């Protein structure tokens, strides 16, 4: 590829010193072919690569950038906070402010703890569920991704789906043994485990809006059933809202579906583009954490002031901008525009609010094994063409697009046109 010479040279250097040239496997262009453009800067809904190319961005750093790139108020908060010191390893007011905001806005969260990534948030929530219940087994779902913790890297979607590996090497079978994998949209597959192991199951963890293996929208009934079955068996229900938290509404998917989980996990939007994760829920459960209780959990940079400032400013802006109503309007506009531009193609536009997935098959799937490989292949084949026409989509057909408040209807119409034209070419 000679049309991005600087990116190519950087990639050549990168692969010599970084495995695969990337610091997270989903950034590689393995599934879609070619090499990734190296990004120099972002502004609003646009990305600019080091070769001077400009892209309309629908990846949004994989979800965090709900207000777009380089939002001036967020940058200002980051700069002002950093000028006073970047880390203290001692409490700051910013942590309290963000925690109060989360507790006020998210019904099921009575107490919250901040960490530095979504992976850490879910790992800690599960340790807490195990410590609280005194049980070891957990149930997860085929196609739900919860970060790269050993026992959660089983049938996990995201990069694992893209690279066709059901589980990671290096995960001892003894760890994976404690993870029971059920199917989405299938009460019986969950029932079976509870019938067999009811009093050994610490919790059920699910992305209530599964968005890491396509967008597998669930029936509310199914999620309500998970609430009932966990309650009946003394297990905890954990909603992993690393993507959906502060993206689909103040209360996340729990608020949308009016289901109260015991614990919730957050990441992405809550950090405003800085490394933040969080987990929270019922006070009696959260109080089992050290220093109050026996469940240990810690982090040198947890609640980092610069990251807290970015998250806090992001959530304040979402409030001020009436964000979730606007994002729904933009998402609905994009859905219609895509449907129009893809008319006559074997394609469905699956959407919840500002989370959008294109799947090139007749029926939108509700579970991972109902995605046809031909649907993914079709997307992957079109990706480079779309990129070369200035629209940056996530580099795998299993990944979703994110609309931000920086997108305008004109941008959405333009992107839909580019995607539709690429589909006509093949």
One of 139, 160, 243, 270 touching ligand PMP (CB under 6 A): 243
Q: What are phi and psi of 108, to 5 degrees?
A: -70, -10
Question: Which residue lies nearer to ligand PMP by CB, 278 or 286?
Answer: 278
Residues between 343 and 372 that touch ligand PMP (CB under 6 A)? none
* 240 in catalytic set: yes
Shortest Cβ distance from residue 423 to ligand PMP (Å)?
A: 27
Measured CA angle at 145 (ends 22, 118), to 5 deg: 70
146 in contact with ligand PMP (CB under 6 A): yes
Q: Which stretch binds ligand PMP (CB under 6 A): 142-150, 311-319, 323-331, 364-372?
A: 142-150
Closest CB 44 distance from ligand PMP, rounded Å: 23
Stretch that binds ligand PMP, among 6-14, 141-149, 176-184, 225-233 (CB under 6 A): 141-149
**Position 145 contacts ligand PMP (CB under 6 A):** yes
122 near ligand PMP (CB under 6 A):
yes
Distance CA 3, CA 12 (A): 15
Q: How far is the CB of 416 from ligand PMP (least distance, A)?
A: 25
Q: State the Cα–Cα distance between residues 330 and 314, nearest whole angstrom.
A: 19
Catalytic status, residue 3: no
Q: How far is CA 111 from CA 106, 108, 279, 291, 297, in A?
A: 10, 9, 9, 14, 15
CB of 414 to ligand PMP, least distance (A): 27
Sign for the pseudo-dihedral over CA of 275, 22, 57, 359: negative
Residues 54-83 contacting ligand PMP, CB under 6 A = 62
How far is residue 378 CA from its own chain's centroid? 23
Beta-strand pair 236-240/201-206: parallel
Task: Give the β-pairing of 263-266 and 236-240.
Answer: parallel
How many whole angstroms separate alpha carbon 47 and alpha carbon 159? 22
Q: How many CB atoms lie within 10 A of CB 118?
A: 30
Q: Which residue number has the CB closest to ligand PMP?
A: 118
Query: Which residue in 81, 212, 213, 313 binds ligand PMP (CB under 6 A)?
Result: 212
Segments in 85-219 forming alpha helices (H): 93-105, 118-133, 159-162, 173-176, 187-197
Shortest CB 117 distance to ligand PMP, Å: 4
Residues that bind ligand PMP (CB under 6 A): 62, 117-119, 122, 145-147, 158, 207, 212, 240, 242-243, 267, 277
Catalytic residue list: 145, 240, 268
């Amino acid at each position: 590829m000679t049309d991005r010479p600087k990116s190519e040279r950087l990639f050549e250097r990168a692969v010599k010193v970084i495995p695969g040239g990337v610091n997270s496997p989903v950034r590689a262009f393995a599934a879609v072919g070619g090499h990734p453009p190296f990004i120099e800067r972002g502004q609003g809904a646009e990305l600019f690569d080091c070769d001077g190319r400009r892209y309309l961005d629908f990846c949004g750093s994989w979800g965090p950038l709900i207000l777009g790139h380089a939002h001036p108020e967020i940058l200002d908060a980051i700069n002002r906070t950093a000028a006073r010191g970047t880390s203290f390893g001692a409490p700051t007011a910013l942590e309290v402010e963000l925690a109060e905001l989360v507790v006020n806005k998210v019904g099921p969260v009575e107490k919250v703890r901040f960490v530095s990534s979504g992976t850490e948030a879910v790992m800690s929530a599960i340790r807490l569920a195990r410590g609280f219940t005194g049980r070891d087994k957990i149930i997860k779902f085929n196609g739900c991704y919860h970060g790269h913790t050993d026992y959660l890297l089983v049938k996990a979607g995201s990069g694992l789906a893209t690279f066709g590996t059901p589980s990671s090497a290096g995960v001892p079978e003894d760890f994976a043994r404690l993870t029971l994998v059920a199917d989405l949209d299938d009460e019986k597959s969950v029932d079976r485990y509870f019938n067999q192991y009811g009093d050994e199951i610490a919790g059920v963890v699910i992305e209530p809006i599964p968005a890491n293996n396509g967008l597998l929208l669930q029936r509310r009934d199914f999620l309500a059933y998970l609430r009932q079955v966990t309650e009946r068996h003394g297990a905890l229900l954990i909603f992993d809202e690393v993507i959906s938290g502060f993206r689909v509404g103040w209360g996340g998917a729990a608020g949308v579906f009016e289901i109260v989980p015991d614990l919730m996990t957050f990441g992405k939007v809550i950090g405003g583009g800085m490394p933040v994760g969080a987990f929270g829920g019922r006070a009696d459960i959260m109080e089992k954490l050290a220093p109050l209780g026996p469940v240990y959990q810690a982090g040198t940079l947890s609640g980092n002031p610069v990251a807290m400032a970015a998250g806090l400013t992001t959530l304040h802006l979402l409030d001020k901008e009436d964000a979730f109503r606007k994002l729904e309007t933009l998402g609905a506009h994009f859905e219609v525009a895509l449907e129009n531009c893809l008319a006559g193609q074997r394609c469905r536009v699956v959407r919840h609010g500002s989370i959008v997935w294109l799947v090139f098959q007749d029926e939108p799937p509700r579970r991972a094994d109902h995605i046809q490989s031909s649907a993914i292949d079709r997307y992957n084949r079109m990706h480079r063409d779309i990129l070369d026409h200035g629209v940056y989509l996530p580099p795998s057909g299993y990944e979703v697009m994110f609309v931000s408040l920086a997108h305008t209807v004109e941008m959405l119409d333009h992107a839909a046109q580019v995607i539709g034209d690429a589909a006509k070419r093949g």
